[in-house]
C-alpha cells in the first residue's frame, strides 16, 4: 500500500510537470549579426584604413563568427569617385559583388549619372535593392527594386525596408523618379511586415540624421541601418536601435541582436537586446583577391592620369568641411577655370561638387588625376544669363544652410560678397560686387555654373529661370575646363578674398 501511494505521488508530480511544460514551451535564443557599411566612394584604403580589401576581410570574419549575419549597404556607392568618372560606377558593382553584400538601399549618388545608368548598374548587382519611398512618375514600382523583403534566421523572421534619400531629385539626377517621405513609407511597410509575421523590422535608411532619429524616437522600426551623414552613430533608447558607419569603410559598425523566443498558452513572444561593435579596419588584413582587383583598377588610372598639368604656390584646401562652409583656394581655382572656359562674368559652383577632401601643400604638382579626383561627377560647364536680382537669390540659396555644412555652399569667381550668419536664410548676403562694381539688380550677367545646378540642383531653382547661353549639348566637361586652366596658368597663385563671413 505504501509503495502504491508513493507511486501515485510520483505520477502526480510528473503530471504537474507535464502540464507546466505544455503551458510554457522551452525558450530559444537566436543571435543575428547586422553589419553595416555606407557611403563608400573610394575603392582602396587611405593611410591604412578603409577600402574594399579591408571591408571584405571584416565581412569574412563576421560570417565565420556567426552564420546568421546580414551585410547591408545603406547607399552611396556608384559616385562620386575618380574611377566612377570613367566607368560610371561599374567597378563598384564588381567589388560589391566580390565582397558579398546581402541587400542595399540606394543613396542619392546612385543617380548622379542619370536614371538609365542607375538601372543598368542595378541589373549588374548580385544582391537586391530596396526602396519603399521611390516610385516611377505614375506612382508604380520601379522595376527591379522592391519596397521590402523578409529573411528568416533560426526561426526569427526579420522584415527589411529600404528608404531612399527623400530629396534625391534635388541632390542628384534621377530623371522622372519620385521620392516620398521616408518615415511615412517606413510606418506603412513596418505594419505590413508585422502583419506578415515579422518578429523584428529593420530600415536601411539613406537620409539625414533627423529622419533616422525620427525612425528611432517613434519606434517606427526596431533597428535603423543608416547612411548619408558620414559619421559614426550608435543609438539605443530601450525600444529602438540605430547605427551608421561613417564613410569609405574606415570603420564598420555591427550590432549583434539576441532574440529570446518563447511561447506560453499558445502565444509566441520574441524579446531582443542589442550589442554594438565598431571595427577599425586598420586592424584587419586586406583580402588578397579583392586587393588584386583594386590594384588592377588603380594601374589603369595611373597610366591614364599621371600627366602633370602645373603646380601650386599656395595651399589648396578641398576638405569637405571647408568647401561646404567657406571660400577655399581650391574652390576659387575651380570657379576661375569655369569662368575662363566660357567667358562668363561670374562663376558659381557648389562646394559639395568638390570631392577630393584633402589639402595640397604649397609647391605640390597638380596632375590630371588630382583634378578628376576633385571633380568626379562628370558635370559640364554651362552659362546662363541672369539678372542681378537672380544672382543675389542664388547666393542667398548658397549660404542658406551654411550651419548644416550643406553642399550648396557657393565657391565663386568674378564676384565678392559678405555673409551675416546671424540673419535668417534669404537675408544673409550683402555688399555684392561683380568684377569691382556693385551688383546691379536690373542688369544681366553671364553666369557659369555646372549642369547639375543649372537644373535646379542643391536648391538653385533660380537658375532654371535664366536663359541658357551655353547649353548641355555644346558644353565641355567641367574637369577638362579646370585642367586646361591649370595647364594655361602653369602655377596656381593666391587671390584676394571673395567671401567674407561675419
Note whether 163 and 214 are same-domain residues. Answer: yes
Note whether 288 and 345 are same-domain residues. Answer: no
Note whether 185 and 77 are same-domain residues. Answer: yes
- Residue 1's pLDDT band (cuts 50, 70, 90): very low
Task: Look at the chain and report how many structural domains it folds into.
Answer: 2
Question: Quick check: is 112 in a domain?
Answer: yes
Note whether 324 and 268 are same-domain residues. Answer: no
Rounded to whole angstroms, the Cα distance separating 358 from 459 reads: 26
The x, y and z cell numbers of residue 11, run together, are 505520477
Note whether 69 and 211 are same-domain residues. Answer: yes
- Residue 81's pLDDT band (cuts 50, 70, 90): confident
Residue 44 in this model has a pLDDT that exceeds 50: yes
- Residue 378's pLDDT band (cuts 50, 70, 90): confident
Question: Quick check: is 50 in a domain?
Answer: yes
The x, y and z cell numbers of residue 136, run together, are 516611377
Q: What three-state secondary structure class fits 93? A: helix
In this predicted model, what pLDDT tens digit does every residue of 274-330 receive, in sequence order? 999 999 999 999 999 999 999 999 998 888 788 899 999 999 999 999 999 999 999
Given the C-alpha cell 587671390, which residue does it identify? 495
Note whether 281 and 358 are same-domain residues. Answer: no
Question: Quick check: is 4 in a domain?
Answer: no
User: H helices within 316-465, ranges in order?
Assistant: 320-323, 329-342, 368-374, 388-398, 451-454
Q: Beta-strand (E) ranges in 281-404?
A: 308-312, 316-317, 346-350, 359-360, 365-367, 380-387
DSSP 8-state class, residue 371: H
3-state secondary structure 270-307: EEEEEEEEEEEHHHCCCCHHHHHHHHHHHHHHHHHHCC
Instruction: Please state the φ and ψ torsions of residue 232, each to the nearest 5 degrees.
Output: -85, 135
Note whether 194 and 61 are same-domain residues. Answer: yes
- Residue 23's pLDDT band (cuts 50, 70, 90): very low
In this predicted model, what pLDDT tens digit does every residue of 387-396 receive, in sequence order? 999 999 999 9
Note whether 256 and 170 are same-domain residues. Answer: yes
Q: What three-state secondary structure class fits 15? A: helix
Question: Quick check: is 416 in a domain?
Answer: yes
Note whether 332 and 446 are same-domain residues. Answer: yes
pLDDT average, residue stretch 82-101: 93
Of 134-138, 323-327, 470-474, which range is least confident?
470-474
Determine the Cα angle at 230 with ends 228 and 232, to 5°.
115
Among 293, 318, 333, give the residue marking a domain's end. Answer: 293
Which one is predicted more confidently, 10 or 170? 170
Which stretch of DSSP H or E encloses residue 501? strand 499-501
- Residue 16's pLDDT band (cuts 50, 70, 90): very low
Report the candidate in 170, 67, 198 with the shortest Cα–Cα distance to residue 112. 170
Question: Quick check: is 300 in a domain?
Answer: no
CATH number of the domain encompassing residue 473: 3.90.780.10
Determine the Cα angle at 87 with ends 489 and 410, to 5°.
45
- Domain housing 247: 25-293
The x, y and z cell numbers of residue 200, run together, are 523584428
Residue 141 in this model has a pLDDT that exceeds 50: yes
Question: Quick check: is 90 in a domain?
Answer: yes
Report the phi/psi class of residue 364: left, alpha or beta, with left for phi > 0 and alpha for psi in -120 to 50. Answer: beta
Note whether 343 and 274 are same-domain residues. Answer: no
CATH number of the domain encompassing residue 79: 3.60.21.10
Rounded to whole angstroms, the Cα distance separating 386 from 410 reads: 16
pLDDT on residue 266: 85
In this predicted model, what pLDDT tens digit does every residue of 209-247 receive, in sequence order? 999 999 999 999 999 999 999 999 999 999 999 999 999
Cis-peptide, bond into residue 294, ω within 30° of zero = no
Among 293, 323, 355, give the residue marking a domain's end. Answer: 293
What is the total residue count of the chain?
502
Question: Quick check: is 310 in a domain?
Answer: yes
Give me the helix-helix angle, 329-342 and 478-489, nearest 10°. 100
The x, y and z cell numbers of residue 438, run together, are 556693385
Q: What three-state secondary structure class fits 16? A: helix
Note whether 234 and 375 are same-domain residues. Answer: no
Rounded to whole angstroms, the Cα distance separating 123 from 418 reads: 48
Question: Quick check: is 1 in a domain?
Answer: no
Note whether 466 and 338 are same-domain residues. Answer: yes
Report the candidate in 20, 252, 34, 254 with the shortest Cα–Cα distance to residue 156. 34
The x, y and z cell numbers of residue 291, run together, are 586587393
Among 293, 320, 355, give the residue marking a domain's end. Answer: 293
pLDDT on residue 26: 53
Amino acid at each position: 500500500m505504501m509503495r502504491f501511494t508513493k507511486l501515485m505521488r510520483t505520477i502526480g508530480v510528473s503530471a504537474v510537470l507535464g502540464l507546466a511544460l505544455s503551458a510554457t514551451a522551452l525558450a530559444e535564443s537566436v543571435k543575428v549579426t547586422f553589419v553595416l557599411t555606407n557611403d563608400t566612394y573610394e575603392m582602396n584604403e587611405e593611410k591604412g584604413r578603409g577600402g574594399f580589401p579591408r571591408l571584405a576581410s571584416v565581412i569574412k570574419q563576421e560570417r565565420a563568427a556567426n552564420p546568421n549575419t546580414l551585410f547591408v549597404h545603406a547607399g552611396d556607392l556608384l559616385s562620386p569617385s575618380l574611377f566612377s568618372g570613367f566607368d560610371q560606377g561599374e567597378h563598384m558593382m564588381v567589388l560589391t559583388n566580390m565582397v558579398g553584400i546581402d541587400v542595399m538601399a540606394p543613396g542619392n549618388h546612385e543617380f548622379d549619372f542619370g536614371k538609365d545608368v542607375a538601372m543598368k548598374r542595378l541589373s549588374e548587382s548580385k544582391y537586391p535593392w530596396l526602396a519603399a519611398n521611390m516610385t516611377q512618375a505614375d506612382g508604380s514600382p520601379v522595376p527591379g527594386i522592391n519596397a521590402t523583403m523578409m529573411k528568416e534566421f533560426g526561426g526569427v523572421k526579420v522584415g527589411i525596408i529600404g528608404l531612399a534619400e527623400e530629396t534625391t531629385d534635388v541632390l542628384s539626377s534621377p530623371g522622372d523618379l519620385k521620392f516620398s517621405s521616408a518615415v511615412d513609407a517606413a510606418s506603412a511597410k513596418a505594419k505590413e511586415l508585422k502583419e506578415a509575421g515579422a518578429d523584428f523590422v529593420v530600415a536601411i535608411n539613406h537620409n539625414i540624421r533627423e529622419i533616422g532619429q525620427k525612425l528611432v524616437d517613434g519606434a517606427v522600426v526596431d533597428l535603423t541601418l543608416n547612411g548619408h551623414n558620414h559619421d559614426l552613430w550608435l543609438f539605443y533608447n530601450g525600444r529602438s536601435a540605430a547605427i551608421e558607419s561613417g564613410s569609405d569603410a574606415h570603420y564598420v559598425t555591427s550590432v549583434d541582436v539576441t532574440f529570446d523566443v518563447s511561447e506560453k498558452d499558445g502565444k509566441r513572444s520574441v524579446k531582443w537586446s542589442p550589442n554594438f561593435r565598431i571595427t577599425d579596419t586598420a586592424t584587419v588584413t586586406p583580402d588578397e583577391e579583392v586587393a588584386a582587383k583594386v590594384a588592377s583598377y588603380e594601374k589603369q588610372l595611373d597610366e591614364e592620369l599621371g600627366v602633370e598639368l602645373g603646380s601650386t604656390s599656395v595651399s589648396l584646401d578641398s576638405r569637405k568641411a571647408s568647401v561646404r562652409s567657406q571660400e577655399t583656394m581650391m574652390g576659387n581655382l575651380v570657379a576661375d577655370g569655369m569662368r575662363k572656359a566660357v567667358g562668363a562674368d561670374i562663376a558659381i559652383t557648389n562646394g559639395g561638387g568638390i570631392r577630393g577632401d584633402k589639402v595640397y601643400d604649397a609647391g605640390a604638382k597638380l596632375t590630371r588625376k588630382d583634378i578628376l579626383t576633385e571633380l568626379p561627377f562628370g558635370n559640364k560647364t554651362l552659362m546662363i544669363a541672369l539678372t542681378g536680382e537672380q544672382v543675389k537669390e542664388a547666393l542667398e540659396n548658397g549660404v542658406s544652410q551654411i550651419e548644416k555644412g550643406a553642399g550648396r555652399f557657393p565657391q565663386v569667381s568674378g564676384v565678392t560678397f559678405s555673409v551675416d550668419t546671424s540673419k535668417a536664410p534669404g537675408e544673409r548676403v550683402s555688399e555684392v560686387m561683380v568684377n569691382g562694381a556693385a551688383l546691379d539688380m536690373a542688369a544681366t550677367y553671364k553666369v557659369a555654373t555646372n549642369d547639375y545646378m543649372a537644373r535646379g540642383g542643391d536648391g538653385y531653382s533660380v537658375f532654371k529661370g535664366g536663359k541658357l547661353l551655353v547649353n548641355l549639348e555644346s558644353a565641355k566637361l567641367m574637369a577638362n575646363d579646370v585642367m586646361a586652366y591649370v595647364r594655361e596658368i602653369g602655377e596656381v597663385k593666391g587671390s584676394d578674398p571673395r567671401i567674407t563671413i561675419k
